[in-house]
Chain A
Amino acid sequence: MSVSSKVDPDLGARLDELRDTYGDTVQVEEVVEVVDSLLSTMKGDVTSADMELYNELESLAEYIHSAKAEIAQLRPDDVKEKYLSSASDELDAIVEATADATNNIMDATEIVEEVMAGLEPEVSDKLMEATTKIYEACTFQDITGQRITKVVNALKHIEEKIDALVDAFGSEIDKFKSENPDPVEDGPKEITDEDLLEGPQLEGQGRSQEDIDALLASFD
């Protein structure tokens, strides 16, 4: 026999009111409010069924509160900002770099084809065979590009889910962040070996060879 079937009529009526207000699906951030509202109406004689319901609701509220705090500690906002965006950018850079490389390979192959015309047929045929193989091998770029696009789409999907999570737990995350601020370094931060290994840099984030030459020359 379910708890609700034993609930007294007043409590049942209050549950119906809450259902009218919040619907059948209650947002996570509203659960505590709903439970508080329900408990505040419990007065007068409390039956054992009411107590059972009260205990169930109280443990449910505690469980949700604790789950919210744990999710906030995982900092889903941080995952999105620090890792997901960067992963998408890196993948886009891979597609761009492989496309550039493939076009450079084909530029060179087309030049080989142009000079083949003036060669002995035996040599020309061998070169033709080799250039055909190069063109065939270049199709990898299309396949890797399509696979990477699928991964980027998957990351976007995860990003949307994290956005929803951050929306639902925003206040809890802000609370956690204010209680646990990122450590502020006193004075200049010492650069570790790990800090130095973040390459290859994306377009516009690193220095050009010319910049590096100039920087090196500035030590002379």
Chain B
Amino acid sequence: MAVNPNMPILIVDDYKTMLRIIRNLLRQLGFTNIDEATDGSQALQKLRQANFDLIISDWNMEPMTGLQLLREVRADAKLKHIPFIMVTAESKSENVIAAKEAGVSNYIVKPFNAETLKGKMVSVIGDF
């Protein structure tokens, strides 16, 4: 694995079950250093308190959505370099375009499988 399996990853989703699914899939892919947040504002707080090498976030959350989180991250000099993968059920072209314009690194549509998750992660952080 070229990528450090202990790299800190922040996963963000308002569905606790989805956080658990992503955590388990990441663990099966070899990643163990995973933290969770249940909306954008909680994620932003965690991002400002600790270092993360990857953000995997849902879009549709309250009070701060994944897109707002992405914009905040890209506007913050200390955070803007962190790869950001959006994992969402929003599959319209305008959503993808909006996310891309906001600086998303990659985009996964729910429901997804482990292979897709791995493929998008490889494209963002390198092979593992």
State whether A142 and B24 are in contact (beta carbons under 8 Å apart), knowing that A132-B114, A136-B111, A136-B113 are contacts in the complex: no
Taking CB atoms, residues of chain A closer than 8 Å to B110 are 139, 142-143
Most A Cβ at <10 Å: residue of B17, B28, B110: B17
Assess the B15–A145 pair: CB atoms within 8 A: yes
Q: A146-B60, A146-B89 are in contact. Are A139 and B28 (CB under 8 A)?
A: no
- Does any Cβ of A come within 8 Å of B18's Cβ? yes
How near does chain B come to A119, taking the closest CB pair, in angstroms? 15
B20 at the A/B interface (Cβ < 8 Å)?
yes
Q: Which of B17, B25, B28, B113 contacts A142 (CB 8 A)?
A: B17
Is B112 located at the chain interface by the 8 A CB criterion? Answer: yes
Number of interface residues of A (CB under 8 A): 20
Closest-CB distance, B66 to chain A (whole angstroms): 13
- Within A134-152, which residues are at the interface with B (CB < 8 Å)? 135-136, 138-143, 145-146
Contact A138 B21 (CB under 8 A): yes
- A106: which of B15, B24, B60, B111 is its contact (CB, 8 Å)? B24
Are A102 and B111 neighbours in the complex by a CB distance under 8 Å? no
CB under 8 Å from chain B, chain A span 120-140: 128, 131-132, 135-136, 138-140
Q: Which residues of A contact B (CB under 8 A)?
A: 99, 102-103, 106, 109-110, 113, 128, 131-132, 135-136, 138-143, 145-146
Leading 8 A-B pairs by shortest Cβ distance: A139-B111, A136-B113, A142-B18, A132-B114, A142-B15, A135-B24, A102-B17, A135-B21
